[in-house]
Each structure stands twice: as structure tokens, then as C-alpha cells.
Homo-oligomer: A and B are copies of this chain.
Amino acid sequence: MNNFEFINPTKIIFGKDTIGKLENEIPKDAKVLLLYGGGSIKKNGIYDQVKTALSNVEVIEFGGIPANPEYAKLLEALHIIKEENITYLLAVGGGSVIDGTKFLSAAAYYDGDTPWDILTQNIRTEKGMPFGTVLTLPATGSEMNSGSVITRVETKEKLAMGGPGLFPQFSILDPQVISSIPQRQLANGLTDAFTHVLEQYMTYPIGALLQDRFAESILQTLIEVAPKVLKDPTDYKAASNFMWCCTMALNGLIQKGVPTDWAVHAMGHELTALFGIDHARTLAIIAPSHYKYNFETKKEKLAQYAERVWGITEGNINDKAYAAIDKTEAFFHDLGIDTKLSDYTKDYEGTAEEISKRFNERQWMGLGEHQTLTPDRVEKIVKMAY
């Protein structure tokens, strides 16, 4: 097991009818900017619950944060934060709204030339404007971590940021929100959480026995609840387990003491930036090819995953490892998620070269747990995913 440090100060408030607890979490003298997305919260009743809970606090609203939170749009919110002397941010949404809020939390206290520097210069935020979240879409885990991914449409860039100052102070997780989420988003959430676990698990054995089992526990539970969530999003047992899995998949716990990969995300982000493909779907496109390309270095963990998560006991280590990749791809298909780039766009020729070129330009010379995934290898993996 590698040495590690772990701290996660976010307070989780989980369960039925918990949105009203907002009232106790935000300082009475706060001036709140309420951030949300496309407005679905106004249809499903969440907006009303939030507004009721905030009735004794001064609130300004900012809606319209898109999926893949867009830099230009967030600058509008930053302008309001400064003009209105906002002191507290409240994200009501999924990963995009929460990630956008984290950017604003950092940017509100940033005194450099332009807040874009935070992304391009990897500036870690030690202290951000305090914020909380009401999660409306389980998927990214952003509600209990300190990371964020921001998109800039004009340059087709999608970049990550973070820092210890960017943990939500609290996050409210009411699994009943799942009942009004469209199937497409549910499938995305399941895929996203599943791949988050794989990125922290599918590397090589390092003797972190408990972390391995925790990771496998999340995968097993997602596999168990996925068909139930899709069939009946009002199934509270399935919904609550789905929601808690998404949070635990990326709150830092399972990555402690182990090598992590994240190359699937690095490549996937480019597909979103280039084609606007849903984040989760880009992961499903890249993951199978990535595991096949890096088979030799990952096969021990692939075989362990085959045995423990998929119950595959037949064959040698190679057989099990290959079968596990097939099972993973089939799982995505069962969710209604296509796993080839050509399923999403006819304009895929040259994509691998373009992504390779971008990685070269950013000097991303060695991705993956062994830092051996050079841009030319990335090109091959993306081609395999056509």
C-alpha cells in the first residue's frame, strides 16, 4: 500500500425529505447565490423545496449553467458574485452545476489576472468562497470531493481544477430526486460512477486489500441496482444505493494508497470537447479499448475484477481478464450506452490524431498509472474506439 493522506470535511445529509435541512446549514447572515442548470428543478419540485428552506436568507438566483459547465457562462455568475457581494454559494443540480460552483468558489477569491489561469496553471485553491450543494443527479461524486472540470467552448477545452478549499461544506442527497431524472441521464450516472471506480482500481496490485474490496463493493452494488433504477426510478431502495455509490465512488476514499489511472477520463474529455458527447458516454467509448490496449499491465486486476465482481471462475488469467472487459462493455450496452465513437458521430476520422496532437501540445507525455501512455499510444487507443 502506498502512503497517503485523507481528509474529507464535507457533511452529508442523506435521505428522504432532507432538502428542508438546508435551513440549518447556511449562515443566517449569508447573501446566497443560488446556482442551477436548465430549469428542471422548477418542474420536479426541488426548486420550491429549496426556496422554502431559504425563506429567511437573502438569495439571488443564477440559472442556466449547462452540462459541461461553460467558462463564459460562469463569468456572468462571477460578475454577479462581485457586484452583489455574495458570501455563500448554493449549487442545486448535478455534477455540472456543482463543478461550476466550485470554479466560482475559487474564482471569487482569486486575485490573479484572469480566472482561466486557475485551470491552465493548475492553481490549487486553498480557500474558496463557502458553498453547499443539493444534489439532483447522482453521477460525478462532485458533491463530496474537491475537484471540478470546466469547459471553454471557444477553445474546445475541458480542464480540471481543485484544491482543499473546494470541498462543499454540506451536500444534501435525497434519493427521491431520482424519480424525475430521464433515462438517458440515469444511464449516464450509472456509467460515470462505474468508470470512476475503474479508474481507481483497474491498475496493478499493490496490496491495498481493503481499498480493492471497497471498489469491488461499489461495482457490485451498481451492477445490482442499475436495472432496477432504470426500470423504476421511484424504487427507493435501488435509488438510495445508486446515489450513495456515486458519492463513494469519487469522494477520495477508494483511491487512497493505490495507483490510479484516469487516462479514460483524459481521453474522454477530449471527445466531449470535440463532439459534445455526454461525459459518461465518452468513458464507455474509451474504457474497453483502453483496457485491451493496456492488457498486459492491467490483466492481474482485470482478472481479480472478473472473479470477484462478475463471478468468472473459468479459464486462466488472460481468459478471465478478457471476459471482464467483455462483461464491462455488455454492462454499458445493457444501460443503453453505445461504446464506439462511430455510434455517436460519422465525423470521427482524424479524431485520434487530433487528440494526440492536443496531448502533445499540453505536454501530457505520460498518462495512466505507469505514466507510460504517450500521445502516440493515446492515438492508438482512440482509433481502437472508433
Contact = CB atoms under 8 A, between A and B. Distances in A.
A256 interface: yes
Interface stretch (A2-10, A288-296, A337-345): A2-10
A257 B221 CA distance: 15
A216 to B, nearest CB: 8
Nearest to A14: B4
Contacts of A241: 1, 207-210
Nearest to A164: B11
Contact of A207 (B3, B6, B14, B237): B237
Nearest to A225: B209
Interface in A6-39: 6-16, 18
A237 B212 CA distance: 13
A213 interface: yes
A68 B356 CA distance: 61
Contact of A14 (B5, B221, B225): B5
B207 A240 contact: yes
Nearest to A241: B209
Contact of A210 (B6, B8, B209, B221): B221
A10 B209 CA distance: 22
A241 B214 CA distance: 13
A211 B208 CA distance: 19
Contact of A9 (B4, B5, B9): B9
Contact of A1 (B9, B15, B224): B15
Contacts of A7: 9-12
- The quantity of this chain's copies bound in the complex is 2
A5 B172 CA distance: 9
A245 B211 CA distance: 10
Contacts of A208: 241
A13 B9 contact: no
Contacts of A221: 209-210, 213
A6 B12 contact: yes
B1 A5 contact: no
A19 to B, nearest CB: 12
Nearest to A11: B7
Given A217-B210, A241-B208, A13 B5 contact: yes
B210 A244 contact: yes
A248 interface: yes
A374 interface: no
Contacts of A150: none
Interface string A198-210: 0000000001111
Given A209-B224, A209-B225, A240 B1 contact: yes
Q: Which 8 A-B pairs have the closest CB atoms?
A: A3-B15, A213-B217, A7-B11, A207-B237, A6-B12, A9-B9, A1-B240, A209-B241
Given A1-B237, A3-B15, A4-B15, 12 more contacts: A1-B15, A3-B18, A4-B12, A5-B11, A5-B12, A5-B14, A6-B12, A6-B14, A7-B12, A8-B8, A210-B241, A211-B244
7 contacts: A5-B12, A6-B11, A7-B11, A14-B256, A208-B241, A210-B217, A211-B244
Interface of A: 1-16, 18, 207-211, 213-214, 216-218, 220-221, 224-225, 237, 240-241, 244-245, 248, 256-257
